């Protein structure tokens, strides 16, 4: 996919860069991002909306992969940005991302985060609950400024995906429930508030979704809710945000559709549902994360030890694992991989790829066919661009890997590898203790 291919040395090449050279130069584990592929995804979403006739914003859900370089790229592509924390907001602002195109999500924003966002003059908050609704109105009043908001509602749609990453069903920690009438009450409260400017509503029905059906059902319910809201309080939305969640291919059997497919299905449904109810067509916003960066990322590891249990299994260990990719341990997520320095060799055995953490669950891939792996080989795991670096951690005090963007034969370091000094940087020894060497 993207700009990856096997070069004349039988090595995996991405963005015109030989991955074995990248591994040698930047060390491993290493996250490699195909910049052209990220940009082409951004453009596909934007272009699909351009031809739809809708006013729109495509907001990249930065939680999938948030670094200053990524924020910069997103800005260059003309997208908006969804942030969910002070840290993501800070990253975007440090990268010079235009604040008015930032939307602030989250189910428990602190007063400090809200203040930081208002000081920066971000575009809007996506309000999650009644507590936050009052908090924002109070802060707006103190500051004598109107706070622009969308309300996140839960339309009661369960997208076909892993349970841990479904967020649209009724029993969810996110959003105002539609079925019980909470969403309607929230709209009324926000619309009547002197200190809130209610732009519209938002819903996000899940993640790694392949079919458009879930979106269509949700859009029907959202239109129904807005119809009721207009009747009850006269509110007519300017914006409808239908969230993200568009799936990507991790392994064989995954059947994602291209960005155009989701945009066309969504715009068609909104046009129909709103026209039927004689509601004016809103500005449409979406929030793709994974589908922008997921398959543009590849993680390079160095293979080290192996262990064979006769007649049972062969474990091949790499120099990373759940610290740089938590998804297999957390969601039983599946990945494909190849030996980057021997791409033309036939597969010769089935092995399981183990991480190096002190935890049995730290397995990256179960049962994958590969050429016989030797210590020193480079293992390339594909489609790690979303929620890989983003959920990386320092378990076992393992430093986070570096991140490079590759493009037309050039590699650009965009996140430096953490050092052991970084690992102890925030540690303090109790006062009076002595370090003897």
Binding-site ranges for ligand LLP (CB under 6 A)? 61, 64, 82, 105, 165, 167, 204, 207-208, 243-246, 287-291, 327, 331, 386-387
Please report where in the chains the tokens 């802060």 appear, as a residue.
139
To the question of whether residue 245 is assigned a binding role by annotation, the answer is yes
Shortest distance in whole angstroms from residue 247 CB to ligand LLP: 8
| C-alpha Rg value of the chain to the nearest Å | 23
Nearest distance, CB of residue 190 and ligand LLP, angstroms: 18
CB of 216 to ligand LLP, least distance (A): 17
Residue nearest to ligand LLP (CB): 289
86 is in an annotated binding site: no
CA distance 236 to 233: 9
Distance of CA 114 to the CA centre of its chain: 22
**CA–CA dist 259, 266 (Å, integer):** 11
**Residue 169: exposed, middle, or buried by beta-carbon count in 10 A (0-12, 13-18, 19+)?**
middle
Alpha helices, DSSP H, located in 54-209: 68-76, 86-94, 111-120, 130-143, 182-192
331 is in an annotated binding site: yes
The structure tokens listed for 270 are: 């909104």
Minimum distance from residue 336 beta carbon to ligand LLP (Å): 16
Do the annotations mark residue 50 as ligand-binding?
no
Q: Which is nearer to ligand LLP, 18 or 88 (CB)?
A: 88
**Neighbouring C-alpha atoms within 13 Å toward the C-beta of 181:** 1
The least distance separating ligand LLP from the CB of residue 16, rounded to whole angstroms, comes to: 27
For this structure, is 358 an active site residue? yes
DSSP 8-state secondary structure symbol assigned to residue 102: E
Distance (Å, whole) CA 49 – CA 242? 14
| 359 annotated as ligand-binding | yes
Residue of 42, 124, 357, 358 marked active site: 358
Residue 260 assigned ligand-binding role: no
Measured from the CB atom, is 20 or 207 closer to ligand LLP? 207
* Residue 347 token pair: 């597969």
Q: How far is the CB of 335 from ligand LLP (least distance, A)?
A: 12
Closest CA to 27 of 410, 436, 403, 405: 403
224 CB-near residues (< 8 Å, 6+ apart): 277
- Which of 314, 385, 436 has the alpha carbon at shortest distance from 70? 385
* Residue 387 assigned ligand-binding role: yes
Give the separation between CA 38 and CA 77, rounded to whole angstroms: 10
- Please give the annotated binding residues for pyridoxal 5'-phosphate, written as ranges: 245, 287-290, 387
- Please give the annotated binding residues for substrate, written as ranges: 290, 327, 331, 359, 387
Residues labelled as active-site residues:
358
- Please give the annotated binding residues, written as ranges: 245, 287-290, 327, 331, 359, 387
């Amino acid at each position: 996919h993207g700009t990856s291919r096997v070069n004349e040395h039988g090595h995996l090449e991405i963005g015109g860069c030989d991955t074995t050279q990248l591994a040698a130069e930047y060390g491993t584990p290493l996250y490699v991002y195909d910049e052209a592929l990220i940009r082409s995804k951004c453009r596909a979403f934007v272009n699909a909306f351009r031809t739809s006739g809708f006013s729109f914003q495509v907001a990249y859900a930065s939680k999938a992969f948030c670094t200053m370089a990524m924020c910069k790229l997103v800005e260059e592509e003309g997208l908006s940005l969804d942030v969910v924390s002070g840290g993501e907001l800070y990253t975007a602002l440090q990268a010079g991302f235009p604040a008015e195109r930032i939307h602030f999500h989250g189910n428990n924003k602190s007063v400090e985060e809200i203040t930081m966002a208002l000081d920066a003059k971000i575009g809007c908050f996506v309000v999650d609950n009644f507590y936050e609704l009052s908090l924002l109105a109070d802060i707006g009043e103190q500051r004598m400024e109107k706070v622009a908001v969308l309300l996140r509602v839960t339309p009661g749609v369960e997208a076909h995906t892993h349970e841990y990453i479904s967020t649209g069903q009724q029993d969810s920690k996110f959003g105002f429930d539609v079925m019980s009438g909470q969403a309607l009450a929230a709209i009324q409260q926000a619309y009547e508030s002197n200190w809130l400017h209610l732009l519209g509503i938002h819903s996000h029905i899940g993640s790694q979704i392949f079919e458009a059906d879930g979106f269509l059902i949700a859009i029907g319910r959202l239109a129904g809710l807005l119809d009721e809201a207009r009747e009850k309080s006269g509110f007519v939305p300017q914006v409808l945000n239908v969230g993200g969640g568009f799936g990507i291919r991790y392994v064989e059997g995954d059947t994602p559709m291209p960005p155009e497919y989701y945009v066309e299905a969504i715009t068609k449904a909104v046009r129909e549902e709103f026209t039927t109810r004689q509601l004016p067509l809103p500005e449409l916003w979406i929030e793709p994360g994974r589908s922008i960066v997921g398959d543009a990322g590849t993680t390079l590891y160095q293979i080290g030890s192996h262990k064979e249990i006769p007649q049972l299994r062969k474990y091949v260990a790499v120099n990373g694992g759940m610290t740089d990719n938590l998804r297999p341990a957390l969601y039983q997520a599946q990945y494909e991989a190849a030996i980057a320095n021997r791409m033309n060799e036939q597969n010769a055995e089935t092995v399981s790829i183990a991480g190096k953490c002190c935890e049995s669950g730290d397995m990256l891939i179960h049962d994958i066919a590969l050429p016989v792996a030797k210590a020193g080989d480079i293992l390339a795991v594909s489609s790690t661009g979303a929620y890989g670096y983003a959920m990386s951690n320092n378990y076992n005090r393992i430093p986070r890997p570096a991140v490079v963007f590759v493009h037309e034969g050039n590699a650009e370091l965009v996140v430096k590898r953490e050092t052991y000094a970084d690992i102890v940087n925030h540690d303090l020894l109790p006062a009076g203790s002595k370090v003897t060497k």
